[in-house]
């Protein structure tokens, strides 16, 4: 029975590195799939459960809360164009997502220009 920390690679090429308890993935760990998908975060009874990040093979990524292998609760989804969407996730649905915008800081300096006419001079 596995307990503590360790690494295991299955016959299908899935590799888990992390904490074990009761012969199951429990605690913090990273699961890497041959497809290129990677989950890094908390596990409970061999399932993604708690805070974590799942990176899909195409580079898109979800960071947030998981419940039994599903997105659940507040999180961020980064799409293939690098746009970050934040909001509440439930199962395969995302409710009220908002685009997170990171814009460079612009400092604008205004100079007051005063035009005047001197009176009384020729």
Judge whether 27 lies within some domain.
yes
Asked whether residue 118 is assigned to any structural domain, the reply reads: no
Q: Give residue 107's pLDDT.
A: 52
* 25 lies in some domain: yes
Q: Please report whether residue 38 resides in a domain.
A: yes
CATH of the domain at 88: 2.20.110.10
For residue 110, tell me if it sits in a domain: no
Looking at the domain assignment, is residue 60 inside a domain?
A: yes
Q: Would 82 be classed as within a structural domain?
A: yes
- Split into its structural domains, the chain has a count of 1
Q: What is the pLDDT of residues 39-94, one digit of tens each?
A: 999 999 999 999 999 999 999 999 999 999 999 999 999 999 999 999 999 887 88
Is 103's pLDDT higher than 80? no
With a cut of 90, say whether residue 13 has pLDDT above it: yes
Tokens of 10: 């299955």
Non-local CB neighbours of 77 within 8 Å, separated by 6+ positions:
60, 61, 62, 84, 85, 86, 89, 94, 97
Domain that holds residue 76: 4-100
> Does a structural domain hold residue 117?
no
């Amino acid at each position: 029975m596995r307990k503590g920390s360790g690494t295991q690679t299955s016959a299908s090429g899935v590799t888990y590195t992390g904490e074990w308890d009761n012969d199951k993935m429990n605690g913090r760990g990273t699961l890497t799939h041959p497809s290129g998908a990677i989950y890094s975060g908390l596990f409970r009874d061999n399932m993604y459960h708690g805070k974590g990040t799942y990176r899909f093979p195409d580079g898109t990524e979800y960071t947030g809360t998981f419940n039994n292998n599903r997105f659940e609760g507040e999180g961020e989804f980064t799409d293939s164009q690098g746009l970050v969407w934040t909001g509440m996730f439930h199962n395969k649905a995302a409710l009220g997502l908002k685009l997170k915008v990171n814009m460079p800081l612009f400092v604008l300096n205004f100079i007051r220009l005063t035009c005047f006419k001197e009176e009384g001079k020729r």
